[in-house]
Amino acid sequence: MVDRRIPKLHDLAPLMQFKKPTFDLKAKRLREALTIEDLRRIAKRRTPTAAFDYTDGSAEAEISLRRARQAFRDVQFNPAILHDVATVDTGWDVLGKRVEQPFGIAPTGFTRMMQTEGEKAGAAAAAAAGIPFSLSTMGTASVEDVAEAAPGGRNWFQLYMWKDRDRSMALVDRAAAAGFDTLLVTVDVPVAGARLRDSRNGMTIPPSLTPKTIIDALPRPWWWVDFLTTEPLAFASLDRWSGTVAELLNTMFDPTVTYDDLAWIKSQWPGKLVVKGVQTVDDARRVTDLGVDALILSNHGGRQLDRAPIPFHLLPDVVREVGGDTEVHLDTGIMSGADIVAAVALGARFTLIGRAYLYGLMAGGREGVDRAIEILSVEIARTMRLLGVNSLDELEPRHVTQLERLVPRARG
């Protein structure tokens, strides 16, 4: 038998922990977002379909992106126990300067279309966190505006080599004059990928007010208020474009770019040079032999060639081939701090986040970017502690097993 009694007030008092009401709805929704996927769900609710799909989607059947994310899910961590992990250091030197986290913000195009604060929010948040911010050639803020938004930040500029070489290099000169210390040359865009979501949404630059977009805007009036009451979209490369994204890219990208052009760009740039879009071991060796400061294993977030190689799977082979000669960086598919730790353990010196940052931006502007960086930073530190390491230098391939899901068929 159980003896029962009427509870006394002093017994109930410690159990009655009512939270103070909050009237800051943005702060509340960001605080309740515990993962990048949570930020993605918020972003989808708050952003018109065309703009969200431009961020969220990739090329053709979107196989490359799904495979890249699955590769990180197929990681087995191998922790060491009984290590003192009261303190961990999540920073180290990248391209000759310290970063506080082993990730930075990747270059993204049309960013103010996602949320009106755009690149300025990303640059300011990155500077506050002690990580680099990369401005895209297709960005919606100028190099001068980004430098002003993050005067103490470490800013990188990403270059698409256009058919108009003079205009390309004029942007590079402006970036150097504005204090950008690193140039990322993207090499996997001879033509635009087939981004079918954008085609089906009829996405234009800037967004068009059609019956479809007006209906889509009804549950998201705040986005349109921001869009219509702030400075019109402007690009580092052009002021206005009336066609689709794919048409714009195909008028600009130069399918004749070769290794000779890359060597010429290197001779023009005074800072660090990084090649973005390497997808084979042979190309990794070849760009390394040109004397670049780093290469980025990337399939453009799955937005160019569908069924492209998975950068995370390629990482160990490339590190073995060129890791002693240049820094190996990585992007595509990163959705958690654990993904970043796995990449570092397999030899990546640095990683870049694109969609993860944009989900935060769409979810809450500058504060949303801060929250995305915070989520990843907390996850990195926690994963390191659970693995039994105190610093990034202690992460080794033994800490990670890449479980096999897609195994190449033997030839012959």
pLDDT of residue 254: 78
Selecting among 83, 300, 313, 399, the annotated active-site residue is 300
pLDDT of residue 196: 87
pLDDT of residue 103: 98
Print burial letters for 149-170: b (CB count within 10 Å at least 16), e (below 16): bbeebbbbbbbbbbeeeeebbe
d(CA 217, CA 223): 8
Cα distances (Å, whole numbers) of residue 149 to 61, 108, 120, 178, 367: 37, 17, 6, 12, 15
**329 among known catalytic residues:** no
d(CA 110, CA 226): 15
Residuewise pLDDT in 10s, the chain (412 residues): 788 878 787 777 777 776 777 778 899 999 999 999 999 999 999 999 888 999 999 999 999 999 999 999 999 999 999 999 999 999 999 999 999 999 999 999 889 989 999 999 999 999 999 999 999 988 999 999 999 999 989 999 999 887 777 778 888 999 999 999 999 999 998 888 888 888 888 776 666 657 777 677 778 888 888 888 888 776 665 544 555 555 666 666 778 888 988 998 999 899 999 999 999 999 999 999 999 999 999 999 999 999 999 999 999 999 999 999 999 999 999 999 999 999 999 999 999 999 999 999 999 999 999 999 999 999 999 999 999 999 999 999 999 999 988 888 777 6
- In degrees, rounded to 5, the angle at the alpha carbon of residue 337 between the alpha carbons of residues 332 and 342 is 70
The answer for 224, left when phi > 0, alpha when psi is -120 to 50, beta otherwise, is alpha
Beta pairing class for 327-330 and 350-353: parallel
Contact (CB, 8 A) for 298 and 285? no
Residues whose CB falls within 8 Å of the CB of residue 314, separated by 6 or more in sequence, listed in order: 279, 280, 281, 297
What are the tokens at 270? Answer: 């005074």
Residue with tokens 């002690």: 130
Which domains are assigned to the chain? 25-402 (3.20.20.70)
- In degrees, rounded to 5, the angle at the alpha carbon of residue 19 between the alpha carbons of residues 383 and 11 is 105
Contact (CB, 8 A) for 133 and 104? yes
Q: Identify the CA nearest to 148 among candidates 128, 125, 120, 108.
A: 120
